[in-house]
Amino acid sequence: MWLELIDVARTFGTRAAVNGLSFQLERGAIGCLLGPSGCGKTTALRCIAGFESIDAGTIRAQGTVLAQPGRSLPPERRHIGMVFQDLALFPHLTVQENVAFGLTRLSRDERARRVGELLEVVGLSDRRTQYPHQLSGGEQQRVALARALAPKPDIVLLDEPFSSLDIELRERLSVEVRSVLKQLGATALLVTHDQQEAFTVADVVGVMRDGKLEQWATPYDLYHRPATRFVADFIGQGVFLLGDVVSPNAVQTEVGVVHMNGAGEMRPGQRVDLLLRPDDVLHDDASSLTAEVCARAFRGAEFLYTLKLPSGARLLSLVPSHHDHAIGEHIGIRIEPDHVVAFEREE
């Protein structure tokens, strides 16, 4: 395994910033630690980089121990590249000088060749003699990435790399950064609180909460097969609807019987909260099941409607925007979840 964390813990005073963190990242994969502020994701990244010691557990890269309690390789010996949140470009150096900064062991010709290759990959060959202040935010981001990749590190760490950019640029750069990392076959670990960013860049995502890993899975599985209630609530949009299990594969709810696709994990008589995503609730004028529109958000191609059921429970539904319904109007709906997710009711 290229990168491996085993029961890693880091404590500050009485607070465990990272608590029993374990995951594995394969060579050439892009991973992401995702979670709200204060969940421990940046501390975990700093422990991997060698900027923080660990109080328990083991961090390995390619089988080599990077850190254990009382034993830690210094950052410069870990063969890790780092893209910092503030980018940390040298303002007095040109683009090509910034990228070449960590290549002192190469000959002049080798250094020039490596810098040229990377500037070509990140699309900045024509800006090589510019200084950071002459570049846009997106261009500065690509320079920082090229500099981190220049020494051919075993792992590249990216700490909230797009947080200072506007939404449109952030979305475009997320795609570009993934493309660059994949083109170079780099192994990378990203830290972010933005799930769209995580889903765009990463092959596998770990959702963190209070220093612990709730789930380590593909973006698809996090959305459709959340392992915990926190992941279900944190990832995407959705609501929980009260239901009663009537068979191992079916739940009776206010909107009818929802079948569990053979999940068979629930006991008849059990009360559960059923997760319904906006794409599980379909608009259907012919349906006898109706709900009241109590809020709506126009998204161009579609509306996101908040719908109120007779009990007062609410659902979310994505509806093509040519179905333009007013607040207070009742519309027909049909429940068709692709993946049924239910959690035991928390009384």
Question: What is the number of other CB atoms lying within 10 angstroms of the CB of residue 259?
Answer: 12
Residue 135 is inside which H or E element, if any?
A: none
pLDDT for the residue 163: 86
Q: Please give the structure tokens belonging to residue 160.
A: 């909230």
Enumerate the β-bridge partners of residue 64: 61
Per the CB < 8 A criterion, the answer to whether 156 and 83 are in contact is yes
Backbone dihedral angles phi then psi of residue 180, each to the nearest 5 degrees: -65, -45
pLDDT for the residue 347: 65
CA-CA distance, 13 to 106, in Å (whole number)? 43
- What does the pLDDT look like over 106-138, one tens digit per residue? 999 999 999 999 999 999 999 999 999 999 999
pLDDT for the residue 261: 65
Cα 28 from chain centroid (whole Å): 17
pLDDT for the residue 266: 78
CA-CA distance, 71 to 334, in Å (whole number)? 59
Task: Quickly tell me which residue has 């890790």 as its tokens.
Answer: 80
CA-CA distance, 297 to 283, in Å (whole number)? 15
CA-CA distance, 64 to 77, in Å (whole number)? 11
Q: CA-based angle 289:294:296, to the nearest 5? A: 105
Q: Is 57 left (phi over 0), alpha (psi -120 to 50) or beta?
A: left
pLDDT for the residue 179: 96
CA-CA distance, 343 to 281, in Å (whole number)? 19
Rg of the chain, C-alpha, whole Å: 24
Query: What are the residue ranges in the chain where pLDDT is below 70?
Result: 261-265, 347
DSSP 171-222: HHHHHHHHHHHHHTT--EEEEES-HHHHHHH-SEEEEEETTEEEEEE-HHHH
